[in-house]
Every structure is written in C-alpha cells, then in structure tokens.
Amino acid sequence: MTFIEIARNPLSTITLTFVVFWLTTALQRRTRLAILNPLVLTIAFLITFLKLTGISFEQYYEGGRMIEFWLKPAIVALALPLYNELKHIKSQFMSLFLTELAGCAVGVISVVLIASWLGASPEVIRSLAPKSVSTPIAIEITRQLGGIPALTSAIVVLVGMIGAMAGVKTMEWGRIKSPVSKSLSMGTAAHVMGTNRMSEYGDRYGAYATLGLILNGILTAFLAGPIVNLIL
C-alpha cells in the first residue's frame, strides 16, 4: 500500500486533522502569539497537504464528516457557562440587549455601505450582510436575501478567524477592560471563533461571548433583510 493510498483513508485524514490541530494549539500556547491561530494554521496545512497529495476534498470529507458530527453538540455545550451566569445576565438584560442591537445594526450597515461604496454588485452585498453570525444562520439569511451562500460561508470563516486573531488586541488598544464588553463584542463580531477565543480566559468570558453570539444571530436574521433592502 502506497503513502497516497494510506493518506486517502478516512481514518488517516481525521487523525492528521486532530494531530495538526493539537500541535498548532500547543505552539500558540507556548508562543502566545494571536497570529498563530490553531484553526488558521490547521486549515493552511491541510489545504497544502491535499494539494501536494492530490487528495480531493470529497475524499478528505469522508473522514471530516466524523468531525462535523460533533460540531452541533459542541456548540450546545457553550450553553453551560451561559447558564452559570444566568442570574447576572437577567439583572442587566435590557442594557445587554440594547448594546447587542446597536452592535448588530452597525455591523450590517457598515459592511453594506462599504461594499456599495467599493462597487460590489447587489448579489455580493447581500452575501456579505450576515458576515458576523454562525455559518448555518448566515447561509439561510443569504438565501432569503438572494445572495451567494458559498461566498457567505467563506466570508463568515474569514471574519471569524480575523476576529479570533486580532479582536482581543484591538480592544486592548482601545483600552476596553470590562470582561463583559470584551466578551460580548467578540461573540457579536466573530461568532463561534470569537466565543471560543474568549472561553480561553474563563467561564464568565465564555458566557457573555455566547450571549453575544446568540443575540447577534437572532437580531441579524430579523434586521439584515430590511437594512439591505433600505440601503439598496
């Protein structure tokens, strides 16, 4: 059996994915450099590996499907720190909601206006509007708006990676010190990847980032359509 035949085995691809992610996570923890994001490095390595070996995405996905299976329960697990902070969230829910509403509106309006100013087509603009929510929600919003789901998927991943790598440092430059403000902002702007980044700092950070992720998803579903139609 040749190396390529072994590499194409679903068990080999899923093992390689886990090993590379574990190594890149260890590298970031040792260096503490945000730019060495494990997800970004793993994706880059796997793309290079598939290109060099000639393995198609469909062949890789036979093993990757097993990873995807655990994504849904993993996302549900984010509710645990949220539940632990439920008492504090209830006491300030209105202020959190209004903050989230403003963040959602600014996020959608800014990307639509910038894309319009740069000359993007209406179809592309509609695809960019739900950039800051998790992929399943973003794709459904894009379909309702008449955008391009494939483009939306790519943009959502890109936004999440940039947010996870640069979000915390950007807020430090802006002298934002409140754990609630940082976490809510990361969950709002960088969806699951931002939430995962904040969870590294503790359960409280993870709880408010999860809240930002959830509220932004709901609000974007309601607001993206009217905002895009109004501007276009």
The C-alpha atoms of residue 37 and residue 52 are separated, in whole angstroms, by 23
pTM for the structure as a whole:
0.77
Confidence class of residue 5 from pLDDT cuts 50, 70 and 90?
low
Q: What is the share, in percent, of the chain residues with pLDDT greater than 90?
A: 21
The C-alpha atoms of residue 89 and residue 163 are separated, in whole angstroms, by 24
Confidence class of residue 111 from pLDDT cuts 50, 70 and 90?
very high
- Residues 135/194, Cβ–Cβ less than 8 Å: no
Confidence class of residue 80 from pLDDT cuts 50, 70 and 90?
confident
The C-alpha atoms of residue 87 and residue 79 are separated, in whole angstroms, by 14
- Residues 213/199, Cβ–Cβ less than 8 Å: no
- Residues 219/101, Cβ–Cβ less than 8 Å: yes
The C-alpha atoms of residue 172 and residue 114 are separated, in whole angstroms, by 25
- Residues 209/81, Cβ–Cβ less than 8 Å: no
**Which phi and psi angles does 206 have, rounded to 5°?**
-65, -35
